Chains A and B, each alone.
Chain A
């Protein structure tokens, strides 16, 4: 059957083909479609009935017809050939090279839909990754094996932030660097060029694999691109024992493509037209981050998504937040105030922070200082909106110090230069310095011995 070409397409609907009169096709089987002019496309079986298959085409259906287009079933599910030769190269969404270099020869053929990691085999992520960015290291610490997305919006500098993380990320006391796998879905060529140049100019390209699907490329490729990227990552991490940082951008485009297929299949839509299985589908991407017992490699994921209308309750950020281990949220208000990176720490979170910080990892006072800043900054922000109504004069003296704390925090702690690489000690000390304008008796989140050890309050202040 493998060599049989069928010319029995009964219907073409958007990216879907209905092929009839065939021998039984396997669910998720890969098919090759050849058009009259000799062009060919790849597709995948979405549903199989006796003699009928519904095929989803990766790529455009432009020029396909029902009588002369030939369909061939390959008999196998989607696989990709991976090898360490892929480092330093650029590929499209189907893993074909687009950098005018040679094709990948040899390599191991692996399924792109990876099996789930056995929860019993997972190792708890606990190695602190120093990104040199205070709002991440100090407040929402990233650890190896974590999946920590950036929730952004159109026009916000998420690309710069992701590039800065890729450039600066390191594990303290260890020399081993990261290899970066960059998967771009539906981004503009300008954005793609930014990343390529960024990787080239810093020399990071030699330890990177880039998969690019531009806005003009077929949207269906966006469905398999992250899976190919992650299969490559798994191979490099668990076979070649490397530490991999996977950056996926923009997950919003991925979800749009998912919705497109779902509507073409006439499925019952869930919220805002996205399919009901989007949570499960996204989890098969995000959950491929992690560490495995007894293996030295790891996969850390930083997916980027732009929240439509800056709405964090939109299904895409919402479902993502339920799967990932926290989120870094960018804010338009901070950007307007000239703050880079405009990370709003209040809705941001790293669920694995506790495992990666503290004595022996960062510093013993880390948890307390972060909590204290959170609480003081939240208070300061509340007072800022209050003072907009009642005026600053109506606030108590104590409240006014919180107000100025919030402003200073944004200007000095959140704000940093594009190439500024702050060590964790610098970040923590800066935190204590900023807190020192507040009364020492308000330091309820910090252990008392840490206040006396790291705090900047003089003895006289304590008595007054």
Chain B
């Protein structure tokens, strides 16, 4: 048994820890605080403790569990809320009340709950890592596939359908090294990447129902997104919207060092919200990891890995996963804090020199993958990582290291947020490297005009930025009428398309078909307006036209009614412009 020789905040040094290996989980003092060995010398082990170390003193014992930090995987993960080291917070509440006391443990998966297991493989089958041998209906939405754990290979000796708890044996495999028992549950060390056969280029968008994202800066299933922004710019709302409406099968939401009330908001709203595709409560497909800012800092460091390991496990079943990490800056700060306590030589802004490596390792666990299994199946993990740069300045190390590895960048803009333009994604600074690759999908699945409409709209927005500079010098009235028309169209795009209210029952989700029609209507209106101006109409006349209301009302129209609304409105707009364009409406 080891003995503590030094305590400094969450870092504890102990001597004579039995069989100490790097990243072994240990129990510290009689309280049994959970810790992990992060540095070893011949005589001493340095341990980061996942709980508050007040009252711990030199001489207290340290016990090695001999196992690395692992997650428990099996049916019952969905609908759960865990802390950073996968302790179920609902069970902890029953045990210790409203405040989290130290040294508590609870099994992550309910060991008493019985699951209906249906075997799909048969005795005598040859099985290896990743093969699906049966399934459990975990929630109304998700069919949980039971897979052969990593490193097991051989012939199925027994396998029986029936009702089991996660601890009961469901069958066994005869391997070269003897018989291996199978359970509904398996373990995975969180710091190891779950291997896949190979990764495929992402080919389908993650449809989010958010116009500025789907139309302008789409992310592919299996892609990576960085969302940096100062406080108050709406990072969390963007993440919440994505976890509500994105068309992934499963959402893993990691609240890493953020506000407690935000997790409460998810816990109260998700069970009531219905998935737009299946009509089932969103909670049925969600796993929450909550390590709020005031919870121990070392567990915050672990929470990201706990989340991604759970995501990888469901990906291996063949599902598409969206993982939200809010916020990776807090995770990086946890790294910095631990690094400081270890008295390591700091890199930029006090962050450890290995920050870049850790960030890229994390994002590399995303992707669209061919699963390691005899049967051919694919699954994907999309990672959306919020970054909270100090003072909103993205030249700081966490933002820069993140932008180096992510392929989509949604630049949240404080000045848009302060005028309540939400989502405050800046259309000039943001980018998506998936847009080109996905455009053929959009043209095929949504509208053949998609790429063209996008290009027109983006062109108008860029032109607006140039014109705004001129307006700053000479004033609006000095502009030629045709440029006033461009400014007006840009304003329609900003106000009636890009702005989207997360809190409006209808506007919170917008289907791709509706997005395409909305943007077509605005760009068409813009063209007609320009034609009318060329014929000598003044912008002040056009601005008074009642037909503009057809555009400003678009957001209020439900998805299913929008087709008809679009037809009617287009006709009405065309008609209204007939006298202004000299009787001929040019239809190009």
What is A's interface to B at a CB cutoff of 8 Å?
A: 24-29, 46-51, 77, 113-125, 145-146, 238, 267-271, 276-277, 279-280, 283-284, 286-288, 290, 292-293, 295, 312-315, 318-319, 321-323, 325-327, 346-347, 349, 351-352, 354-355, 367, 371, 374-375, 378-379, 386, 389-391, 394-396, 399, 441, 444-445, 448, 464
Further 8 A-B residue pairs, CB within 8 A, beyond A287-B260, A290-B260: A24-B58, A50-B5, A119-B267, A121-B93, A280-B297, A321-B231, A347-B418, A378-B420
Ordered by A's residue number, 27 sampled pairs between the chains whose C-beta atoms are within 8 Å are: A24-B58, A26-B7, A26-B54, A27-B9, A46-B8, A48-B6, A50-B5, A115-B100, A121-B98, A122-B261, A238-B98, A270-B350, A279-B330, A280-B297, A280-B334, A283-B257, A284-B294, A287-B293, A290-B260, A318-B230, A321-B230, A355-B265, A375-B419, A386-B472, A395-B475, A441-B548, A444-B495
Minimum Cβ distance to chain B for residue A160 (Å): 25
Bound-state Cα–Cα, A145 to B261, Å? 9
Bound-state Cα–Cα, A404 to B71, Å? 61
User: Which B residues lie within 8 Å of A347 (CB)?
Assistant: 232, 414, 418
Minimum Cβ distance to chain A for residue B258 (Å): 8
Minimum Cβ distance to chain B for residue A294 (Å): 8
How many residue pairs between the two chains, A and B, have CB atoms under 8 Å in the bound complex? 229
Bound-state Cα–Cα, A160 to B472, Å? 39
Instruction: Name B548's closest neighbour in chain A (CB-CB).
Output: A441
Instruction: Name A122's closest neighbour in chain B (CB-CB).
Output: B264
Stretch in contact with the other chain, from B131-139, B190-198, B385-393, B435-443: B385-393
User: Which B residues lie within 8 Å of A284 (CB)?
Assistant: 294
Q: Is there a chain A Cβ closer than 8 Å to B340's Cβ?
A: yes
Query: 0/1 per residue, B480-513, Cβ < 8 Å to A?
Result: 0000000000000001100000010000000000
Contact check: which of A119, A276, A325, A367 meets B350 at CB < 8 Å? A276
| Contact A118 to B89, CB < 8 A, known contacts A267-B340, A271-B349, A327-B232 | yes
Which of B264, B292, B471 has the most A CB atoms < 10 Å from its CB?
A: B264
Q: List 8 A-B pairs, minimum CB-CB distance, nearest first.
A: A394-B475, A313-B391, A378-B419, A283-B293, A287-B294, A321-B231, A28-B54, A115-B99
Q: Are A374 and B100 in contact (CB under 8 A)?
A: no
Q: Are A49 and B6 in contact (CB under 8 A)?
A: yes
Minimum Cβ distance to chain A for residue B262 (Å): 8
Q: Are A280 and B264 in contact (CB under 8 A)?
A: no
User: Which B residues lie within 8 Å of A375 (CB)?
Assistant: 419-421
User: Which A residues lie within 8 Å of B519 (CB)?
Assistant: none
Q: Is there a chain A Cβ closer than 8 Å to B259's Cβ?
A: yes
Contact check: which of A26, A117, A292 meets B57 at CB < 8 Å? A26
- CB neighbors of A among B399-450 (8 A): 414, 417-421
Minimum Cβ distance to chain B for residue A271 (Å): 6
Q: Are A349 and B232 in contact (CB under 8 A)?
A: yes
Instruction: Name A26's closest neighbour in chain B (CB-CB).
Output: B57
User: Which A residues lie within 8 Å of B97 (CB)?
Assistant: 121
Instruction: Name B417's closest neighbour in chain A (CB-CB).
Output: A349
Instruction: Name A370's closest neighbour in chain B (CB-CB).
Output: B420
Q: Is there a chain A Cβ closer than 8 Å to B180's Cβ?
A: no
| Contact A117 to B54, CB < 8 A, known contacts A271-B390, A313-B390 | no
User: Which A residues lie within 8 Å of B90 (CB)?
Assistant: 120
User: Which B residues lie within 8 Å of A396 (CB)?
Assistant: 476-477
Instruction: Name B351's closest neighbour in chain A (CB-CB).
Output: A276
Q: Is there a chain A Cβ closer than 8 Å to B214's Cβ?
A: no
Q: Is there a chain A Cβ closer than 8 Å to B26's Cβ?
A: no
Minimum Cβ distance to chain B for residue A41 (Å): 20
Bound-state Cα–Cα, A145 to B262, Å? 13
| Contact A367 to B473, CB < 8 A, known contacts A290-B260, A323-B259 | no
Query: 0/1 per residue, B86-119, Cβ < 8 Å to A?
Result: 0001101100111111100000000000000000
| Contact A444 to B496, CB < 8 A, known contacts A28-B55, A280-B293 | yes
Q: Is there a chain A Cβ closer than 8 Å to B159's Cβ?
A: no
